[in-house]
Amino acid sequence: MGLLKEIIMFLIGIGMGSYVVKLLLMKKKKQKSFPLKDQLVRNHQFFKEGQDKIQSSFVVVLGLGGIGSHCVITLARSGVKKVRIIDNSVLTAGALNGHGVAKTRDIGKHKTDVLKAHIGKIIPQCEIEIQKAYFSLENASSLLAGNPDYVVDCIGNVSCKADLIQYCLQNQINIITTASAAGKIDPTRVEVADISNTKNCDTVRKLRKTLKKRGIAEGVQVVYLAETPRYLLLDPQNPIKQMPIPAIGTLTSITGNSVASYVLSKLGGVSFEPFIRDNYRKTSFLRLVRHLELLEKNHFHSELEMDIEEIEQVVRTLWNLRSAYSNSKKSIEAVRFDLTQPASVSNLILLTDEELIMHLDGRLEWSQEQISLIKQNLMKLG
């Protein structure tokens, strides 16, 4: 007290008495609190009785980068009763361009801690449970305990995403997954689609292949950007070493809010049918893929290793849905060009069903000019 008194007398002596009075009278400001019904009045107007379901719901969000942080903030603002946030990483300076709430003073802090503190200032009634961990099958039961109404996957690692999705499907837990917005800029290309109906996304393509090996080909909703990437995300000289990821914050926020909107629609009972811009997987194409899978299995005694997007690329881009032999569009089927080699982007052609039978029997006569043109065409993707 003696030192404090001397400081006060000194300040008064140099003409700062009014400043001293303000310091002495200053009280710690209490955080204002508002009734939840007032804060969520707009949500009640939209969801009606569905808002009560939202306010009694429990959502788990894994991965708190740009997409995950924006998703969590929106879920909390919308009245979700409890959100368990799972991530074991800390904020870096490079994350500030896309993170939902981070400030420069938050660099080095755990993402979970930063998000919880921020949400407490917006809607303190939301229960934020922190788990500083990375998901694995070993800790899955504990991280996803409590019967969550929805799980949101914002994890970056593809193998980890696949484990999470497989676990949720096996345990009948609602899940939606997301894909990185890196290398893209067009906000009009954000789409919500089944994983079997996605395109132009390296993350989803790798995830789709991984899940297919585990017997999961569809039934997983994805929020992703269908835009063709503007930049490579891997160093072509050293594929193992990833380059700094080129990304802008606008699309992480849009993607994060889009997945939150989807979850809220399910929780609040105001569902929608995602719009598929390009009518991408038409029945005729899906039939062609199924026939190719059966041909590989029954005739060549082999499993088809090609991804559905790779097949789409060959069928539409290389052959324009026409026979490589006759240019016909009638009853088109896909088949290996070189019957001794596996089906791949550099070894897949289209033929009519009659030409296919003759090709498999070795009775289809190819001219040298046809063979040369087909090989040149196949090299474009191979």
Q: What is the pTM of this model?
A: 0.74
- Per-10-residue mean pLDDT of the chain, 382 residues long, equals 64 62 55 78 95 97 96 97 97 92 94 96 95 96 97 96 98 96 90 90 92 93 91 56 71 96 96 67 80 94 90 87 90 94 95 94 93 91 70
Residues 6+ apart with CB under 8 A from 227: 184, 185, 186, 189, 200
C-alpha span between 372 and 337 (Å, rounded): 12
Residue found under tokens 């390296």: 202
pLDDT of residue 11: 61
Please, what is the angle between helix 17-25 and helix 2-13, to 10°? 140
* Exposed/middle/buried for residue 134 (C-beta within 10 Å: 0-12, 13-18, 19+): middle
Query: Taking the C-alpha atoms of 87, 193, 308 and 230 in order, what is their torsion angle to the nearest 10 degrees?
Result: -70
pLDDT of residue 247: 83
- Cβ atoms < 10 Å from Cβ of 215: 8
pLDDT of residue 280: 47
Contacts 24+ apart (CB under 8 A), 236-245: 244/94, 245/180, 245/182, 245/183
Give the domains, in start order, of the chain with CATH numbers: 36-268 (3.40.50.720), 283-378 (no CATH)
Amino acid at 136: S
Residue 59 is predicted with a pLDDT of: 98
Supply the pLDDT for residue 271: 84
> Which pLDDT does position 8 carry in this prediction?
63
| Secondary element (H or E) of residue 128 | strand 127-131
| pLDDT reported for residue 12 | 64
Q: Which two tokens stand for residue 228?
A: 């063709």
DSSP 300: S
For residues 105, 110, 111 and 115, what is the CA-based torsion angle, rounded to 10 degrees? Answer: -70
SS3 334: strand
Q: Please give the pLDDT value at position 239.
A: 47
270 is written with which tokens? 């105001």
**Closest C-alpha to 375, from 347, 343, 356, 350:** 347
